[in-house]
Amino acid sequence: MNCCGGAAEFSEVGGEALVRLIAFARTLRHNDFAIGLKETQDAARVVASTLATRPSSLRPALKALFCARVTEWRKFDEIFDAHWLGRGVKSLSKIGASQAMANPKSVRELSRGDGNQQGEPGLAEPITENDGDNGSAPDPGRSRMEGASRVAALSNTDFRKISDPQALAEAHSLAESLARAMQARLTRRDRARRKGRKIDLRRTIRRNIAHGGVPIELVHRHPRPKPLRLVVLLDASGSMTLYTSVFLRFVHGVLAHFDEAEAFLFHTHLAHVTPAMRERDGTRALDRLSLMAGGVGGGTRIGESLATFNRWHAKRVIHSRTCVMIVSDGYETGSAAVLRAEMRQLAKRCRRIVWLNPMMGWEGYEPSARGMQAALEHVDLFAPAHTLDSLARLEPYLARL
């Protein structure tokens, strides 16, 4: 690939137009469009041409360029209108807000959001639809943000600082989209790895006896694929309340899009919640989860919960390519010795243990809690999980498993 050629193509586009185009491409990728550098370079040529002078000509040009599937074709107009014209701006982020319901102290409460807030700034700075000069040009310095900029801001915001219901709903939607994107990329990498299969010499010789031993037909070894399995154990105790709602949406996305995944919720006891979280509708999933989990927000008995997992579930859900992902702040109200022993047993069964701790994103945090200290010696990766970006950084690690 000619890097210099790509730079030249982008240089033909003005600075403001290039920023808007890159933001538009990023927004499409967040909505599951298969867009790469090549498509963005071609789009830069379109924006640099006379087609960009009118929305009526820019829309079909970019639509033909960016849409490769029927689902993309159906979604494109709505996203285009939101980004370039400022219409229906909520479409830039697939809102997954659940309506407020009366469920006393349940998982449902943690994801409650009100999508009817007024005065929320727009997600895209519109361009004028007038082909003439009658309309006044929008002021780019106004407070209304590009859709992609808003997504980037949410991705870097600590979950506990997201208080606006609409922003929280967008974070929920982005968490599910992140899980879907991670699954797609991990699947592509696994297929690419399997394409480098080796030749089976014995079967190749036998197959080509009829050709006088000339290896015309090659026979390859086809290793039996064993995809990565994720087992997520999510802490739903009182100290994790500010983070649980977004993690629930992330776990819902994992179970909806990973072929092999299991989910458990724990606080004072462990609950297997995979059947509930496999509901395609996030609202229904949380309703079922509330019934199965038996309430949240109490103390934390991590060691006893892991003992239940090791005794009743581990043999069924763990194989040689299993990554156990524990999401917890490590505040143990039970015995640290029990936690240490159960972590040792768990480490013997699975391929990797990843411990995600939201507190790691706090300034000056040290893993001094006795539960965290007991668990760390058996953890393969200890990472923060306080923002969407920190969750996204897990993908390269999972891809190597």
Q: What are the per-10-residue average pLDDT scores of the chain (401 residues)? A: 45 68 84 80 84 81 85 85 70 35 41 40 36 44 51 79 74 73 64 62 86 82 73 90 84 80 91 86 73 69 95 93 92 92 95 93 86 93 89 81 72
> Looking up tokens 């040792």, which residue turns up?
344
* 45 in Cβ contact with 18 (< 8 Å): no
Q: How many residues does the chain have?
A: 401
- CA 327/CA 385 separation, integer angstroms: 8
For domain 229-399, give its CATH number from 3.40.50.300, 3.40.50.10860, 3.40.309.10, 3.40.50.410. 3.40.50.410
**3-state SS, residue 95:** coil
pLDDT the model gives residue 224: 62
For residue 158, the tally of other CB atoms under 10 A from its CB is 15
- CA 16/CA 26 separation, integer angstroms: 16
The DSSP string of 159-221 is GGG--SHHHHHHHHHHHHHHHHHHHHHHHHHHHHHHHTPPB-HHHHHHHTGGGTT---S--B-
Question: Which is nearest to 247 in space by CA: 335, 160, 361?
Answer: 160
pLDDT the model gives residue 104: 34
Amino acid symbol at 86: G
Q: What is the pTM of this model?
A: 0.58
- CA 92/CA 240 separation, integer angstroms: 29
> Looking up tokens 């982005």, which residue turns up?
174
| CA angle at 36 for the pair 31 and 39, rounded to the nearest 5° | 100
pLDDT the model gives residue 48: 83
Domain ranges in the chain are 1-90, 229-399
pLDDT the model gives residue 378: 95
* 343 in Cβ contact with 380 (< 8 Å): no
